[in-house]
Structure 1
Amino acid sequence: MDLDSQLTTTVQGSGDGTQLGICFIYFIFGFACAIGHHAFYASLNGKPANDQFLMLRYGTVLAFASKAGLSVAVIVAFQQRVWTTVRRRVMSIAALDSLFAATEDLIALLNWELFRTRGSPSSSPSLIDQLFEIPASLWNTTKPEGADPPEGWFDYYTAPSPSFQRTATIGAFLEQAVMRKNAQVETCGSGWNCTFEINFTAPAYKCTELASGVGSKPVNLTQESGGSIAAPFDTDILLPKGKYSYYAFTSGGEYSTTQMKDVGIGGKPISDPPYPKNFGALRTEPVVWIGYSNIADPSKPVPQNPSDPGWDTAFIPSLFACENYESHYVVTFNYTDAMQSTKVTNLTFLRPVVNTTYLPHIDADDGTADNVTANPESNYIFPQDVARYRRTAAYHSLGFMLRYFLNGTIEMEDRSLVNPVANTNAIQTKLIDPKSNYFPRPGLAGLVQNFYEEIIMSMLGNPQFVAVVWAAKPDQQSGGGKTFLPFDEDEELETAHGDDGDADEDDGERFLYPCTKSRTANMYHYNVRDLWIVYTIAILMSLVGVVFGAMAISAEEGGKVRDTLFSSIVAATRGPALDKVRWEKHDGSFLVGDDGNDGGSVHVAEDVKKLRAGYGLLARGEGFGSSVIGLSASSASSLRQSIKRGGYYYGFGLEGDVQQIRVRRGSTVF
């Protein structure tokens, strides 16, 4: 085979379709990497952001692998479009420069001649490849027992225990429920926040408004026992008519800590049994009576003297009464950042702690030192009813501490607001606002109920209290010396064994209680939509480029595959067809780099770049004279024979010297 026929074979390609198969393999590879990228991010979604840099690298590798696969598929397809275009159209040398450089230089696509010609689809695959690089890099992204007492002896209530008095006092000063030390770690686990809901039975104060407004008369309080009791005072003692901004009477019917006159240490009677019938009996639970005045309009200046205009309308007196009820609580506990918060989500009043009505000014005269009389006497709770008596005594102690803080007055001396005189422990609580001249806060009845709830919640801060039990096992006390450590994520239960060493995992699991655990942490978040917007655009555009390449091979080129290797370009440009172009300067020197170095970039003159050239058949002698010639089938056959004999060769030539052909079904058009 002579040199010309070798050049022809080199340029035309083999036609075996191998590169077309490789083109689709690269496209499938890029698509598979995109699916892998999605699956990898989906596996991280919602998990703690551990090893962020490593995961980012994995995602980057998948993204660039997808980009590489789709890009190579487009480049292979583009090579075929390049040859299709130059075989069909005669273009300026500048346009040919842009066409062959498009896969490496995005600026090359700005040559308008590429888009003006009917061969413009040749630029599309390259444009797809250049645009794909931007989004692929941009979107890579994550809880005294002993012998029975002698006959006729019994225990009876005396007063709240010092431990509880201390707990209630701390809660009042803190203005919130007392939290157990290390409660969050023991309940939630180290580093975790948690929320849980518990329900239990405890006392609660049920408050009823009896009067509101200047000159209003309080109605009687009707009790569940069937009795009715009048308020011990009315609103006339409150501002603006009276001199008190706060007046609380909480001791009516209070249990006497001295039940007998002659007693020894600890209240033990000196005399022998039998004792009076009502000795130690819980006869009634004192009603809390509170009257208070609020400033009608805090935004306006408050009159400082009764003689000032607007004094009579500057204050709103109110009066309410609260009764101690046994109630059912539903409470939500939250531990966040070592802080505890509680919220009573549901409160149901069940029954009065002692269902009687206090009868003031009536002496008991029953042989005891307790001069309280209430009706009906059949509802008294006696020490001999041990379980009921002890529960009621505990409720009474809780109420006693509330009443201790509430009882007393705040008086405006000489009816002037400049020097309030407090005779109550209420100023140590959140019920009184020191910033507002020690006036009670608005909505005092609700605040009293909430204050009582916080005292009760404070008990839960000390599991040693007898009344505190396990949430999961209400029949077992929590302060028995057995401690169960909280679960950590994916860890087995740990238990702290007592001296007997009998605790085990099964024992600990019985005390587990449902809770919602959380912690502040960086989490992986996979935005599926954003990633697939990028990949969908890239994959579709890449697919379009591959389809154009396949069309160039199968439909336009008869299955011939070409490339843009250096040897192919050299083979297509050798020969006398381009010798007529003056590639050197007018003085005969070559156009080399501006620095005079032969290794510099060659600059072709602008007038040369305007010459129009194309790829096709060239005659070894004179040119064809026209780039489009119609031949009959016999003439085409003769031409093929001439090509084989060496009369014509394939290559680049100037317009008028090159004959461009297209293969159509049933005919050949030149």
Structure 2
Amino acid sequence: MVIPAGFGPSRVIEINNMRESHHTQSTRTVISDNSNVKLKKATTIALQDPLLAVALFIGSTLTALGHHLYYRSLNETSVDSEGQQVWAIRIGTGLAFLTRSGLAATLGIIAVQQSWATLRKRAMTIGGIDSMFGIMSNPWLFFNTDLLMHAKRLCALAAISWLLPLIAITTPATLSVYSHANQIESSLKVPFLNFSDTRGWATYEGWGSVSGVGPEISRLFTSVYTSNTFAPLTPPFPNASYDLEFWGPSYKCTSLEEFIEKNNTRTWSLSDFNYTSVEQAFYGQVGSWVSPDNSSLSGKEYVYTAVSATPLNNTLFIGASGFNTLWNSTSHNARLVCQLYNASYGITVGFDNGTPFIRENAVENLELQNWDGIRGVRALGFANNGTCAPDPESNNATVCLTYYVFHSVFRDFLAGSIFINSVGDIAYDDGDAVHSIGSTPLFHSGLMDCPEIRNSTTLFSGTGTDTSVLNTFNRCRNQTLASAIEDLSRNFTYSLMTYRNWEDVQTQVPVAITSPVNFFSYNERYLLAAYLTAVILTLVCITVGLAALMDNGFTGSTVFSAMLLTTRNPDLDRLAENNYLGEKPLPKVVGKTRLQFGIIGTRETMPHAGFGLEGTVRPLGDMLKTKPNNGD
């Protein structure tokens, strides 16, 4: 043997003597009766890990409670900004992850104590022991049969730990956002009507007499009768509404029978209109074909005729050969008298996502416009300068140039005759010439769908074989010709709020503005259910861990030093030969070797707690709690 410098024979002999002395002293400490072997040091339970587990559990519970209180404070409150909504979800998600992390860490500490308790009681394969120490971080280890058979409590702890992330998914989702219509009121200027304002309403000839209807009024009326509704208004906001009250023109249509029952007396001079009664004037102007007694419809086969003579004082006589069960009980021929009134309007103008609608709250006919066309054409335009004013020559009725033009528009639209001509075609006579039915404004409107016209057998006789030209699309508003004319007159009045020459005619009204507002909605039932489930299960696991800790008698650990100190065993050293890297996969021979944690040692070695081969390990029992004798 090579002796290092400075080491002489005497030094070598001294070292050998020390070794022998140490061996002799060690041997004395080995008790021949192995059943009474005592550890050098009694174990105690270190409180750091148990206290940490309790602190994590309490902190997680308080975090869950804070999550609940935070979401409840947001419930049914408005979302003021996108950033507020984003941060509410972020904070809720953060609190959920903190709760989950704290509970998972608590279960991790408990799992360590349960692992040592399991290894003390039974032998397990090294593969099973590997699964025990790795199950909290690797779910694949659940498939180890030795683990499932001999470490059921630990598997339950690990399963709960792996399911805890569900609370970080479900609980943030208990706060949602829903949209609710919120209404505010603001005073705004909106379009209005002023029938004393005659700008653009008429064309004039000498001495200020009205010669015709202004082009913009004609265009506006054309859009109304072709669209079968009022001209769309410009919304102040996409969803808004406001109430208006005003007066304006409106027609009232009644049956001839009802009209003459109330007033059959003439209101005109016989020199101007040679009829002695309203009934005589009606049949004289419209024609005898519309008489109830004339069922044969001899001569010209009429479908429709409307007349507005100047002496009739803003009145229209209308006859139609169709039949409408909603109108009367006669077999054919409708007879209508339509008169212009000054009406009071109470309406609500509303907008639904920009689409306008008008709701009639109260429309009442007030004054019959009982003045003739001469006053409208001559005296009004010159004497009153176009403004609405009482006219002494018309029994002080309020006469408006705009009302006269209004009646002129409807007279030009309705007056005329539809009949079957000599060649069997449908023709239209406006009083000046005969035209094709396709050129008449009435044919372009929804009035043609009214049963009083649509149901005329005469009308269908002029269509030849193609009766689809008269297919109805149910555009007759209110289902009768009388109601449809009244409805058209009101829609035209409403449309005058879009009249371009009246763009500066406005009024200040309260406008109810409805806009969608986002609100938080918190479903506390699901959040509390998720958190209570997690907290209760963790509390049960803490009880299991406490029992394992008390049963062990010491605070276990899975750190490297714990593995180092509990694997000091010659048997394990031989098992580790040629397998020193600890790489995967674990050799089958090593993995199937069964170990148990307990007292290991021989007569030549000091007994200590550690892992040993099955059959070579004695239970720890109460020896871990035995206090050492004085001098040990």
SS at match of 2:251: strand
Match of 1:375 in 2: none
SS at match of 2:111: helix
TM-score between both structures, scaled by the size of structure 1: 0.58
Does 2:550 match 1:537? no
| C-alpha distance in structure 2 between counterparts of 1:285 and 1:581, whole Å | 123
Match of 1:528 in 2: 522
SS at match of 1:196: strand
Match of 2:514 in 1: 517
Pair 92,239 (structure 1): closer, same or farther in 2 beyond 3 Å: farther
Residue 528 of structure 1 aligns to which amino acid in structure 2? Y
Does 2:127 match 1:127? no
The answer as to whether partners of 2:305 and 2:320 remain within 8 angstroms in 1 is yes
Pair 93,206 (structure 1): closer, same or farther in 2 beyond 3 Å: farther
Pair 238,73 (structure 1): closer, same or farther in 2 beyond 3 Å: farther
Select which of 470, 489, 496 maps to 1:459. 496
Gaps of 5+ in 2: 1-25, 27-37, 178-187, 189-195, 198-206, 266-276, 326-330, 379-388, 429-435, 455-466, 624-632
The answer as to whether partners of 2:566 and 2:611 remain within 8 angstroms in 1 is yes
Match of 1:567 in 2: 560
Pair 125,525 (structure 1): closer, same or farther in 2 beyond 3 Å: farther
Pair 57,156 (structure 1): closer, same or farther in 2 beyond 3 Å: same
Structure 1 vs Structure 2 CA RMSD: 5.3
Residue 545 of structure 1 aligns to which amino acid in structure 2? T
Q: Percent identity?
A: 16
The answer as to whether partners of 2:117 and 2:552 remain within 8 angstroms in 1 is no
Pair 413,31 (structure 1): closer, same or farther in 2 beyond 3 Å: same
SS at match of 2:315: coil
Pair 439,456 (structure 1): closer, same or farther in 2 beyond 3 Å: farther
Q: Give the deviation of 1:157 after TM superposition.
A: 9.9
Match of 1:631 in 2: none
Match of 1:618 in 2: 599
Measured against aligned partners, the alpha-carbon deviations of 1:35-74 in whole angstroms (never above 9, x if no partner) come to: 3763586477655646876766555444433433333333
| C-alpha distance in structure 2 between counterparts of 1:396 and 1:512, whole Å | 29
Does 2:244 match 1:198? yes
The answer as to whether partners of 1:249 and 1:288 remain within 8 angstroms in 2 is yes
Gaps of 5+ in 1: 146-154, 211-217, 256-283, 297-314, 359-363, 371-380, 471-510, 592-597, 623-645, 664-670
| C-alpha distance in structure 2 between counterparts of 1:109 and 1:565, whole Å | 19
Select which of 135, 152, 163 maps to 1:102. 135
The answer as to whether partners of 2:209 and 2:377 remain within 8 angstroms in 1 is no
Q: Which has the higher contact order (CA 8 A, sep 6+)?
A: 2
| C-alpha distance in structure 2 between counterparts of 1:323 and 1:345, whole Å | 20
Select which of 259, 273, 286 maps to 1:221. 259
| C-alpha distance in structure 1 between counterparts of 2:240 and 2:513, whole Å | 5
| C-alpha distance in structure 2 between counterparts of 1:536 and 1:367, whole Å | 83
Residue 517 of structure 1 aligns to which amino acid in structure 2? T
| C-alpha distance in structure 1 between counterparts of 2:146 and 2:42, whole Å | 28
The answer as to whether partners of 2:324 and 2:480 remain within 8 angstroms in 1 is no
Residue 406 of structure 2 aligns to which amino acid in structure 1? L
Select which of 608, 619, 622 maps to 1:659. 619
The answer as to whether partners of 1:410 and 1:424 remain within 8 angstroms in 2 is no
Map 1:47-446 onto structure 2 (within 5 A): 49=82, 57=90, 60-117=93-150, 120-134=152-166, 136-137=168-169, 142=177, 143=188, 162=214, 164-165=217-218, 167-172=220-225, 175-179=228-232, 183-184=234-235, 187-188=236-237, 192-208=238-254, 210=255, 219-221=257-259, 230=279, 232=283, 233=286, 234=290, 247-252=304-309, 284-287=313-316, 289-291=318-320, 293=322, 320-335=336-351, 340-351=355-366, 353-354=368-369, 383-384=391-392, 389-390=397-398, 394-395=402-403, 397-414=405-422, 416=424, 421-422=436-437, 424-432=440-448, 437=469, 441-442=475-476, 443-445=479-481, 446=483
The answer as to whether partners of 2:243 and 2:348 remain within 8 angstroms in 1 is yes
TM-score between both structures, scaled by the size of structure 2: 0.61
| C-alpha distance in structure 1 between counterparts of 2:122 and 2:77, whole Å | 52
Higher helix share: 2
Pair 325,527 (structure 1): closer, same or farther in 2 beyond 3 Å: same
Residue 121 of structure 1 aligns to which amino acid in structure 2? R
Select which of 520, 542, 545 maps to 1:552. 545
| C-alpha distance in structure 2 between counterparts of 1:220 and 1:385, whole Å | 29
The answer as to whether partners of 1:129 and 1:542 remain within 8 angstroms in 2 is no
Residue 163 of structure 2 aligns to which amino acid in structure 1? L
| C-alpha distance in structure 2 between counterparts of 1:244 and 1:96, whole Å | 108
| C-alpha distance in structure 1 between counterparts of 2:299 and 2:84, whole Å | 71
Q: Give the deviation of 1:513 after TM superposition.
A: 0.8
Residue 583 of structure 2 aligns to which amino acid in structure 1? S
